[in-house]
Amino acid sequence: MIKTKKKADGAGDAEEDNDDDDEEEGEGDDEVLDMPPPWSPKLFVHKDKYYDRCPNGEKSVFYERCKIDYYSECKQVDGLVRRITLYKDYNRLIIDEIRSEYTCRIDKLRVRRRFPYEFKLIEHYDSQEP
């Protein structure tokens, strides 16, 4: 609120009345808000558990006509990381294709695809640059 006051010499100056503002600020000092700390405590994951990614070294997930087996990296003797089994039927009785993915192999084998009823095997290798 702005009030005008006249000085003794007769000149009128505009001055701000800060009395109302001081009262409003004083009322807000009584309310204190306690907040939790902004960050959670530091997480610690053991290195072996991080690389293990699968409980007990393997994990299986089932879908309608598919089964996926996950294995921990470099824990299998042959370097198997994931095996995908595709089925022809919803009961998962007739196998259509088995895809096996590998890492950490000397021969650079990455994917092996087997078709059991066709007696066919397809292998994919990484290119070896000299």
Query: pLDDT, tens digit, for every residue of 22-42?
Result: 555 555 566 777 777 777 788
117 pLDDT higher than 90: yes
What is the number of domains present in the chain? 1
CA distance 48 to 58: 14
Cβ atoms of 83 and 100 closer than 8 Å: yes
Which of 66-70, 73-77, 84-88, 90-94 is least confident? Answer: 73-77
Instruction: Quote the mean pLDDT of the chain.
Output: 80
Share of the chain above pLDDT 70, in %: 73
Tell me: pLDDT of 17 over 70: no
Q: How far is CA 30 from CA 18, 33, 71, in A?
A: 20, 10, 59
Task: Indicate whether 82 belongs to any domain.
Answer: yes
What would the mean pLDDT of 8-31 be, rounded to a whole number? Answer: 54
Strands 58-62 and 66-71: antiparallel
The terminus-to-terminus CA distance of the chain in angstroms comes to 84
Element (DSSP H or E) covering residue 24: helix 19-28
Please choose, from the candidates 100, 64, 62, the residue with its C-alpha nearest in 3D space to the C-alpha of residue 84. Answer: 100
Model confidence at 116, pLDDT cuts 50, 70, 90, reads: very high
In a domain? residue 12: no
Q: Is residue 36 part of a domain?
A: no
Q: Residue 120 falls within a domain, yes or no? A: yes
Cβ atoms 68, 83 nearer than 8 A: yes
Query: Percentage of the chain with pLDDT > 90?
Result: 44
C-alpha closest to that of 77 among 55, 106, 114: 106
Task: Examine residue 43 and state whether it is found in any structural domain, yes or no.
Answer: no
Q: Is 121 contained in some domain?
A: yes
Domain annotation covers residue 11? no
What range defines the domain where residue 69 resides? 55-125
Determine the average pLDDT of the residues in 1-20. 52
Residue 16 CA to residue 35 CA, distance in Å, equals: 36
Quick check: is 42 in a domain? no
